[in-house]
Amino acid sequence: MNKPKIFITRKWPDAIEAKLKQRYDVTLNLADRPLSAEEFKTALQEYDAVCPTVCDSFPAEVLNVVNKRCKILANFGVGFNHINTPVAKQQNIAITNTPDVLTHSTADIAMTLLLMSARRGAEGDRLVRNKQWQGWSPTHMLSSNVTGATLGLIGFGRIAQAMARKAHHGFDMNILYFKPSPAEEYVIDDLQATRCETIEELLQKADFVSLHCPGGDATRHLINADRLNYMQPSAHLINTARGDVIDTQALINALKNKQIAGAGLDVYEAEPNVPDELLALDNVSLLPHLGSATLATRIAMGEKVLSNLDAHFSGKPLPNE
Ligand code: DGY
């Protein structure tokens, strides 16, 4: 019997590509070239499964292509706001993702950005590299305490809770969260976490605000100029969720005017483009979407995709639909 035809949109870890080759008739993207909408349409017409990542857009215009062969988009990543899910459903295309395995690496990056922003890590690194450091002084590059400060999490799913555990048990931080319904009792007890009734309440009270809600229309510009006004001038904003959760221009203005102390960003509205105005600011720490970028995590994500593909092609329930 012919093996199912699988299309992988970007370069994956070698170990996973080797397994894909054993099990499927797979087309890889060894050059890791970003592909166009036309190439995605052709892939939907020619392959049984297409495996995209966060940087591959599947809007209605692509999903509605005629004569489709593809019955599953097995996404390499947990977020799926780059896929128009209602249209995929109409078109009888299943969608799977890779939850759980990237929780800790993403929470680690959120904590990294929090520390970088609080302690001016990126700015200090630039100073040393540019040979501008004049030596130690009691008032040089003073920054904010992390230990004992208050962390407010907007969205309180797996990644937010993992960050809260690191912050509370490792850095003695007080935990606030905003989520429409209260978290489970055992989570609240473990973290001594307090739920805020509104986002505004959390923004007013937190020294560090970390975003953990999904991207998409419902959360687009959730943090806008109006909401940034609620943050304390000493507070920092951390985003490892999706770029469009923040109105970038409003954030640039708030950072320029010192309305907030700093920000740490791993995600951007128009990745990989980062506005020059943001690049010019010293009080923002910038990472290139590294949340899940450890080798072990990327291999685990690949394993998840494999198990979703294997289930799909053997007619079993999809583990991560
Ligand atoms: C995801 O999985 O959605 C991440 O943003 C990619 O690491």
**Among the atoms of ligand 1, which is closest to the Cα of residue 301?**
2
Superfamily of 103-286 according to CATH: NAD(P)-binding Rossmann-like Domain (3.40.50.720)
Among 83, 102, 265, 299, name the best residue to mutate to test ligand 1's pocket (greatest count of ligand atoms within 8 A of Cβ): 102
Q: Considering only CA atoms, which residue is closest to atom 6 of ligand 1?
A: 77
- Average pLDDT over every residue of 227-241: 98
Cα dihedral across residues 282, 118, 237, 162: positive or negative = positive
- Average pLDDT over every residue of 92-111: 98
Q: Is the CB of 52 under 6 A from ligand 1?
A: no
Grouping H, G, I as helix, E, B as strand and the rest as coil, residue 63 is helix
Q: Considering only CA atoms, which residue is closest to atom 2 of ligand 1?
A: 77
218 CA from centroid of ligand 1 (Å) = 18
The overall pTM is greater than 0.85: yes
- What confidence tens digit (pLDDT) does each residue in 136-188 have? 999 999 999 999 999 999 999 999 999 999 999 999 999 999 999 999 999 99
Catalytic annotation present for 236:
no
98 CA from centroid of ligand 1 (Å) = 9
Question: How confident is the model at residue 98, as a pLDDT?
Answer: 98
Map out the domains of the chain as residue ranges: 5-101+295-313, 103-286
Q: Considering only CA atoms, which residue is closest to atom 4 of ligand 1?
A: 77
Q: What is the overall mean pLDDT for the chain?
A: 98
Give the residue from 72, 75, 60 showing the smallest Cα distance to 5.
Answer: 72
pLDDT confidence band for 291 (50 / 70 / 90):
very high
Catalytic annotation present for 33:
no
Superfamily of 5-101+295-313 according to CATH: NAD(P)-binding Rossmann-like Domain (3.40.50.720)
73 has which bridge partners? 50, 95
Catalytic residue (choose from 236, 242, 298, 312): 242
Question: How confident is the model at residue 1, as a pLDDT?
Answer: 77
- What confidence tens digit (pLDDT) does each residue in 26-48 have? 999 999 999 999 999 999 999 99
Residue labelled with tokens 């599947």: 58
Give yes or no for residue 203 having a pLDDT over 80. Answer: yes
Question: How confident is the model at residue 237, as a pLDDT?
Answer: 99
